[in-house]
Amino acid sequence: MSTVTSDPLVGRVVDGRYRVVSRIARGGMATVYLAVDQRLDREVALKIMHAHLADGTEGVDFTSRFRREARAAARLAHPGLVAVFDQGVDGETSYLTMEYVDGANLRRTLHHTGTFTVAQTLDTLEAILDALAAAHRAGLVHRDIKPENVLVDTAGRVKVTDFGLARAVTEATTTTTGTVLGTVAYMAPEVIRAVGCDARSDVYSVGILAYEMLVGVPPHGGDTPIQVAFQHVNHDVPTPSGAVPALPVEIDELVCALAARDPQDRPVDAGAALHLVRSTRAALDPADLDVRRESAPRPTSEGDASLDAIPTTVFGALDDETRAVAIARAGGTRALELIGTGAETESVPRPRRRRASKVLVWLLVVLLVVAGAGGGGVWWFTRGPGAYTSVPDDLVGATRAEASERVGAAGLDVTTSEAHDDDVPAGAVVATDPGEGERVRKDGSVGLVLSLGVEMLTVPDDLVGESEADAADALTTAGFELGEAEHTFDDDAPTGSVVDVSVPEGTQQRHDTVVVLTVSDGPAPVTVPAVTGLEKSAAVDQLTGAGLDVSTTEAYDEKVPSGEVVSQSLEADSQAHRGDEVSVVVSKGPPLVEVPKVVDMKVEDATATLEKAGFTVEISELFGTRPLDRVLFQDQDPGAEIPKGSTVKLTVT
């Protein structure tokens, strides 16, 4: 892209953020610069409104329109639309920052190549219409589709830019100011006549682009914008094959449908036009797609007065004769503004309308129809708008019989297919192809898509007990969407296995039902109680109450009383899981020891023998003295087993 370094804005930082690098282009509303966003360190396109346009009362309205561009465009998010990042005012400078597209516009591309092949044309149309469809769905009309507003980046991607003339559809359908903004070479007749503007006006402009890409020049020309506008209003776009005979008839039909003078004969919006383009491509042979006009005239260069008049002529609601006089009076001027009520002006006297003129016009129409075999009428009724009708309205929601009757009454055949639908009752029409109100050949058919009602899916059996992965696979294979799994502790189900499903297994459920699996995390964790020293029953109660399985054994213990817990296999306060086993050892008291025989032994020896065996000895003298110093008898029978530490009483004499 060329740059202009002498521009006073080059090098300046706008609004303390955007450093202007170079000038990219200058248009009727604003100048576009390459700039660097110093805050985000990225290149942007900076669009600055011409200062003189903001002067005076009218300038307030123009500034408002300029700023509305940002609000309208910022609502759109599509890879085929140049993104608008920011809007602001720096002193007297109103600006927008937009995505910077490194490449060229379609005007320069055509100037370099001359024409496109059919395939390249269809590719470009699809990209433009796909982007415009996003805008039309959002309720916005571009109003100024032209080659300068179609950018092609260095990778060949197509982007639509400059929604500065776009307005909400509800605003665009009524012209309140009597002024039309746009480029006359691509402007729809209804816009020129200031009788309305909607999505079909953008479709018309795209049709003119299609013609130009195939032929090399726009379909309507003239020495002045007025003459070009007159052609749009009063003449149909010629078939491209008139200039390029090798083009297939399907391309003629496509271009004439997109650029039909009557908006009723065009696709209703860019989405419908995109469908038509794709249908046309599908009907073409590979050889058709390679057709290209090799010796095409060079496209008109940028800035030609006949192509880029902004603002351009407003014809208002003038009759044909007044319009003709206005054009004749305008001569070589760039623009003529006739505020649109049909009232007379000083410079353009309104001639008296003649009934004979109308009669002559209608007579010519009748003669044209009658002379159809001569060529024009044949085209009208076989390829042109006369070969088409519209798909009846009010088909969606109707029963099959009702819809078929309405389509048949329009002289069209009916084909049917079926599809599930969540809202339309079974047997009623869900959609039509083509859509309601869209063009269809009079010898064509309308496809009715009949509702099968809500799609129901079967929940697989035997999910409980399966692993989470296997159960999830079974459900997704059955067509269900899975929600985030829930988890629960379970004493019996292995970790990772399914313990519950949010819908009953084996039942029929809506296709949009989100199924949630409950998955086992195994037994719950528990803290092991401390039971050492407790009575056996108390210890068992505490351990089983914590969810642990308890096993007990008994052992002699000289220190722990009988019946109390001596030890536990899981350490107190450690972490375990419900169902884990813990073993406890319960004391049987001291061990049993055999009582030795100490009768007739000297008292000292008997005492030593019993103490060595682990007993405590208690001495009782029979006569208060022990002259013999011998054991007369012992209270525990020799050979008996009694707890170690027990007391053995000896009677001595």
Active site residues: 144
State the Cα–Cα distance between residues 535 and 542, nearest whole angstrom.
11
State the Cα–Cα distance between residues 344 and 318, nearest whole angstrom.
10
Q: Are 442 and 411 in contact (CB under 8 A)?
A: yes
Q: Are 576 and 491 in contact (CB under 8 A)?
A: no
Kindly report the length of the chain.
653
Q: Are 607 and 617 in contact (CB under 8 A)?
A: yes
Using only C-alpha atoms, the chain has a radius of gyration, in whole angstroms, of 48
Q: Are 643 and 590 in contact (CB under 8 A)?
A: yes
**Residue 111: how many other CB atoms lie within 10 Å:** 16
For residue 35, give Cα distances in angstroms to 20, 23, 46, 100: 4, 9, 6, 9
What SS3 string covers 494-560? CCCEEEEECCCCCCEEECCCEECEEEECCCCEEECCCCCCCEHHHHHHHHHHCCCEEEEEEECCCCC
Helices 249-258, 199-215: crossing angle, 10 deg rounding: 140
Name residue 491's amino acid.
D
Name residue 363's amino acid.
L
Environment class of residue 8 by beta-carbon count within 10 Å: exposed (0-12), middle (13-18) or buried (19+)? exposed
* Helical (H) or strand (E) element with 360: helix 355-370
State the Cα–Cα distance between residues 211 and 228, nearest whole angstrom.
15
For residue 303, give Cα distances in angstroms to 28, 107, 311, 340: 10, 10, 14, 28
State the Cα–Cα distance between residues 42 and 53, nearest whole angstrom.
29
Measured at the alpha carbon of residue 106, what is the angle toward residues 163 and 127, in degrees to the nearest 5?
Answer: 70
* Residues ≥6 apart with Cβ < 8 Å to 547: 491, 523, 524, 526, 578, 579
Q: Are 579 and 611 in contact (CB under 8 A)?
A: no
For 148, the token pair is 């300068």
Name residue 187's amino acid.
M
Helices 320-330, 225-234: crossing angle, 10 deg rounding: 160
